[in-house]
Structure 1
């Protein structure tokens, strides 16, 4: 964690198969808050040709070209935590515990998740980004307080913000989090808080 920048903390699932990668592909799922499908570089070609402002990202463009684009995928909710809860549990918002009415930091159900399904298929799983559906203390919660910490819900490895509010403080060490009991936002590397090592790290 000595670098100046952290990987942008998006909700990201990384699954790597234990063996025989040629038969089972690696899976990288990127979930972004507040981004329309048309904002992705793959759909900006016409704007670029016309000289209009457009975003380009060679990495995302390569992922789209070599992987799959889900053009009929819709978010289950217009808010981040409920959308993640439904995505990871497969439960429709009409039946989910974490719902669209600002229910941040509630724990997701103790049930199969996208992570446990991938594990049962022989994948190693990692989650990188803001979780916000783990339960425990709402502000600067810990793995011990969280009843649905990612490693208890199907992920072999976790790196990121556990609670919702911490994800809104982009310099976790230097930017005080007045709501947190510790006045800092917790960034977790597995079960260890690494905020103190994030010198001028932009998340």
Structure 2
């Protein structure tokens, strides 16, 4: 036990050293940049052309990558939605976040990136899927630093792309759609989950219109727009109407493909998302805000296999092992692109970064003071090509608990995955060298017991709040 504590202490001291150094801001010279953070929902590492996708067309996001920096080792905060978004907004890993597996409001005491940017003179807006607290709770978006909010506040309501209403600044925003709600007899998402029997207004189209309005607002202040689309998540309540869950107004360019409907719909959803990105980028250029705006595009976790969608349709996980709800690479490694003309040189980077790094990075962009609560490290040096000034994470940590408990920790290229099975009173432990085995096919646990012991010690201390 003493040996395990010493091993953990070594990594912990290294981690604290990194956090102490990142508290010293090195803001970008000149005016504060606008920040547009675009988040897809359940978009896989392999769903975009710039990450190797050959069939689904994503020309606008691919152009974003060509003109910006594409990250090959960026990680979501968690393998499912709300915890991952909690990590993104508060700059914390799963050992410290309020939301770890199920949806509940974040706390008043949680410090969000929106609060920090607002205090630094930014106009702040969240459009799309919030999922960290409804009106009247401590997690309500407008109580967590956002001047403007529009979309879904609740995770389950966000399943339906044709809801009967959305929310705008705490008030219902009625739509022309008509829905049926889950009844008591199903015992699932009662009174919240729904499916549309009349489909007229597609929520993600509205998100784009509201985002355009937000950007076009005639203000002198810099802005932070958190644009959280729900594409390509499935509507898990589509069973109410015996329909698949990949809801989209039309098949688009895939209309004449000899594919099953869910496959055409899923591809159309991703290409539709791409068209939204194209509209926003054109707007920034038209308004002469392009050069003073950093645009980030990513996904909240790995791809799903729900609502009729299948990973093998288009290799959505990019040949990585696992998917959403797994802590293998396919569940947590996500596409990540950052573009800022004149500041970010186009190219690729294998710098290991994660969702909880966004908060300290945004603070550096705005010249704001980073809170002590963050577990993140600013990746601004990587964005600006200052590799010699980029600090590294001694470890990354994830957890996800349902009927079984999943944990993962990465230190350097080594990653340990631990799964506890309470019903069987058993545990599995796997160790991978991601530098040699990105697909996590070769379990090294038996060959490297000392490394397993080291990483397990760190994992257990974090899990237990030590």
Query: Residue by residue, what CA displacement relative to the aligned partner does 1:146-203 show, whole Å, maximum 9, x if unpaired?
Result: 3211111111111110111110112112xxxxxxxxxxxx411222211245671112
Mapping of residues 100-119 of structure 1, within 5 Å: 100=101, 103-104=102-103, 106-110=104-108, 111-119=110-118
Partner Cα separation in structure 1 for residue 166 and residue 111 of structure 2: 25
Partner Cα separation in structure 1 for residue 156 and residue 129 of structure 2: 10
Q: Which has the larger radius of gyration?
A: 2
- Post-superposition offset of 1:25: 2.5
Q: Which residues of structure 1 form unaligned runs of 5+?
A: 1-21, 49-53, 136-142, 174-185
More helix, by proportion: 2
- Post-superposition offset of 1:32: 2.0
Could you say which residue in structure 1 is the equivalent of 2:41?
A: 33
- Post-superposition offset of 1:121: 2.9
Partner Cα separation in structure 1 for residue 39 and residue 138 of structure 2: 23
Could you say which residue in structure 1 is the equivalent of 2:201?
A: 201
Distance 1:170 1:86, change over 3 A: same
More strand, by proportion: 2
Match among 117, 129, 139 for residue 148 of structure 1? 139
Partner Cα separation in structure 2 for residue 31 and residue 39 of structure 1: 14
Q: Is the 8 A contact 2:166 2:175 kept in 1?
A: no
Query: Residue by residue, what CA displacement relative to the aligned partner does 1:7-57 show, whole Å, maximum 9, x if unpaired?
Result: xxxxxxxxxxxxxxx73332111222221222123224xx54xxxxx2223
- Post-superposition offset of 1:67: 4.0
Secondary structure of the residue aligned to 1:187 is strand
Q: Does 1:169 align with 2:160?
A: yes
Partner Cα separation in structure 1 for residue 45 and residue 156 of structure 2: 25
Secondary structure of the residue aligned to 2:75 is coil
Could you say which residue in structure 1 is the equivalent of 2:171?
A: 192
Could you say which residue in structure 2 is the equivalent of 1:24?
A: 32
Could you say which residue in structure 1 is the equivalent of 2:120?
A: 121
Query: Residue by residue, what CA displacement relative to the aligned partner does 1:111-165 show, whole Å, maximum 9, x if unpaired?
Result: 2111112223322111111111115xxxxxxx2x232111111111111101111
Distance 1:62 1:122, change over 3 A: farther
Partner Cα separation in structure 1 for residue 105 and residue 175 of structure 2: 26
Q: Does 1:157 align with 2:142?
A: no
Could you say which residue in structure 2 is the equivalent of 1:91?
A: 92
Q: Which has the higher contact order (CA 8 A, sep 6+)?
A: 2
Partner Cα separation in structure 2 for residue 71 and residue 59 of structure 1: 19
Query: Residue by residue, what CA displacement relative to the aligned partner does 1:47-104 show, whole Å, maximum 9, x if unpaired?
Result: 54xxxxx22233323333344434332012111011001110112111211002xx11
Secondary structure of the residue aligned to 1:134 is coil
RMSD of aligned residue pairs (Cα, Å): 2.2
Q: Is the 8 A contact 2:48 2:56 kept in 1?
A: yes
Distance 1:123 1:165, change over 3 A: same
Partner Cα separation in structure 1 for residue 71 and residue 113 of structure 2: 17
| Consecutive aligned runs of 4 or more in structure 1 exceeding 4 Å deviation | none
Secondary structure of the residue aligned to 1:127 is strand
Partner Cα separation in structure 2 for residue 67 and residue 124 of structure 1: 24
Distance 1:133 1:65, change over 3 A: same
Secondary structure of the residue aligned to 1:39 is coil
Partner Cα separation in structure 1 for residue 176 and residue 145 of structure 2: 27
Partner Cα separation in structure 2 for residue 61 and residue 117 of structure 1: 31
Q: Is the 8 A contact 2:175 2:201 kept in 1?
A: no
Partner Cα separation in structure 1 for residue 60 and residue 139 of structure 2: 32
State the aligned residue count: 152
Q: Which residues of structure 2 form unaligned runs of 5+?
A: 1-29, 178-198, 204-466
Q: Is the 8 A contact 2:112 2:145 kept in 1?
A: yes
Task: Output the TM-score relative to the length of structure 1.
Answer: 0.66
